[in-house]
A and B are shown apart, each in its own frame.
Chain A
Amino acid sequence: MTRDTPRSTRAARLLTGGPPLLFLLVFFVIPSLIMVLTSFRFPGEFGGLAPVTAPADQAAGEYGFTTEAYAFFFSDTLYARVFLKSFGVALATTLACLLMAYPLALLIARSEKRFRNLMVLLVILPFASNFLIRVYAWAIILGPQSALSRVANTLLALLGMEPATLLFSPFAVLVGMVYVHLPFMILPLYTNLEKHDPALLDAAQDLGARGWQRFWRVTWPLSLPGVFSGSALVFIPVLGMFAVPDILGGTRDILIGNLIKDQFLGTRDWPFGSVLSIMLTLAVLSVASLTAWFARAAGRTP
């Protein structure tokens, strides 16, 4: 009996941990390794990759392995500027999402239990229609003939300012990004806030804390893990997003996602696309570890 237990625990552990581990191995680790290998190859004449060894009928040329794609990446600051810009957009999106999601998550968490599931359902509901259709809908909402644009431009005219075009601008890209990613901020915040013990707030009130103090000294510090996981869930996907700037962006809104997509679909330069992807992965990993570190540090302080 006593010997059976550890064995069955091990089996259970293997059963529960094995499939996700296998999944990550097959769909994350191995593809990443393929990507790293690709980044050291030459691009093929028709796209794809040049063979590793020269074909029999060809003279030795651009075959085998090379670091030229990396050299190209570091040869000037152009690509670093695209990264910087993408990080700026991702940061702005994350902050806007946080500002909008926090009050809503708090509202849901504080409402009566029987309404909560319905409200969470309403947050998830937009996912029922296709992502691209929702983004195209924004192209109509922000278009020059929309009610929104007319109201905005009437107000601007009253203030004596030039009319503004909303569509095809950095503003439109930000709106699209925030709209698409908002639920990813609300949900982790809500799961965190919902778990808070209301007795803590009562205790704070009994000890004389006013409304703002109760929030700032009790609720906010306790919700930080939710803030960090929500931020990671917004920040990281925004970095790789290319459809939103493609549809809503203007003539300057190129982000790293567009650049990578273009290497594979337009330029047919897989090695350079791989280099860009690797750089993005490294950047994302460092952001994620930074977030984790902050979350831990925040968790330690009371």
Chain B
Amino acid sequence: MSPRLLPALPSLALLAWLALAAAGCARPDAEAAAAGGRVLHLFNWNNYIAPQTVERFEASCGCRLAQDYYADNEEMLAKLAAGAAGYDLIVPTGNAMDTLIRQGALQPLDKTLLPHLANIDPAYLDTPFDPGNRYSVPYAYTVTLLGYNREKMRELGLPTDTWALIFEPRHLERIKGRVTVLDSQRELLAAALKYLGYSANDADAAHWREAAELIVRAKPYWAAFNSASYIKELAVGNLWVAHGYSNDMFQAALDARRTGRGFAIDYSIPREGAVLALDSMVLPRSGGQTGLAHRFIDFMLEGENAAELTNLIGSGNPNVEAKRHIRPEIASNEAIFPDAGARAGLETLRDFDRSQRRLLSRMWTEVKLR
């Protein structure tokens, strides 16, 4: 090779790599198409369907389930807004689904193809986001609650069924630096509003100020705003209390038990009420496999299939028939399956309008800076 070509080598290598990568991406679909199979494209949360469920569905429909993943609703909306097309099914949370419905991005469901829809607990149907469930079928839910180190809480004699644990200095001074709260404006504001006795969706400026003061007063005792690593930190014992999602607390409890740390992670819904995030299956207009997508929804509505996800990640399950298939220690966990009284205190978050979002962001910045 002539030495003059040498400087061009890296870029040539890059081009070759890009070409290979592109070919690699295209392959699975091409293979499935060559085999005469159909492909159902599911745009789902990370780790949000059990592998054995996928296998059984693929066997039953003679098709392939191709999944792409997102880690939060904003990411999913941003990808769709940027033109990602070809997904047959998405599993957004209520407020993101609301956005998709109002954008006209979803197609209505054909309920005659969903005989198992009756398995869903009516309490999770007919939500404000989708009255009459024209577009959506509930899939699973999480509750935003408090996870804690059971032994430490007993030792210190702290109450674990109230938001006071993360907001009241008289409790916090005993666990200073061992508490994290979610790095999420909406979730933390909702917790503060709930503790103050207001709705999680309250947009009254005076109530917001009250909540901000509560947060600023408690902040010096918190170790961090943390949405990423509290599972691990709880499980190894660095944190004693964390504000977070029920799925994550389930994972932390599992990790602590498996590694035999000598303490248990527990979690409970504060009695003042909390946020419930309901994820639903919806069909974007850009998807091609409408029939197959309905088939998948109905498959996931069968009790056994719906139960597998709960057994895997401890997600809340709106499916009545699933309960029989759920492991008893999960089915009896009141943080995952709250009784009627606790359920009355749970609220789903609605989107604020743009000017409220801007004001909330400023308040959040101010809270963080102080």
Contacts and interface: CB of A to CB of B under 8 A. Distances in A.
Contacts of B365: 78-79, 82, 254, 259
B366 A78 contact: yes
Interface string B336-366: 0000000000000001011001101110111
A109 interface: no
B74 interface: yes
Nearest to B239: A144
B238 A266 contact: no
Given A48-B81, A263-B361, A81 B223 contact: no
A269 interface: yes
B362 A78 contact: yes
Nearest to B102: A46
Main secondary structure of the interface of B (DSSP, over half): helix
Contact of A72 (B224, B225, B358, B364): B358
Q: What range describes how many residues of B lie at the interface?
A: 35 or more
Given A165-B223, A168-B224, A252 B368 contact: yes
Interface in A262-280: 262-263, 265-269, 272
B52 interface: no
B185 interface: yes
Contact of B361 (A48, A144, A267): A267
B238 A43 contact: no
Nearest to B354: A43
Contacts of A263: 361
Nearest to B223: A168
A165 B177 contact: yes
Contacts of A45: 102, 353-354
Contacts of A42: 354
Interface residues of A, number: 37
- For A82, A168, A247, the residue with the greatest tally of chain B CB atoms inside 10 Å of its CB is A168
A143 B234 CA distance: 12
A268 B357 contact: yes
Contacts of B225: 251
Interface of B: 72, 74-75, 77-78, 81, 99, 102-103, 177, 180, 183-185, 219-220, 222-226, 228-229, 233, 236-238, 351, 353-354, 357-358, 360-362, 364-366, 368-370
The 9 closest A-B pairs by CB, nearest first: A168-B224, A254-B368, A267-B361, A46-B99, A43-B354, A168-B223, A267-B357, A251-B219, A250-B224
Given A46-B77, A78-B369, A268-B357, 11 more contacts: A43-B354, A45-B354, A46-B99, A168-B224, A251-B220, A251-B223, A265-B72, A265-B74, A266-B184, A268-B354, A272-B361
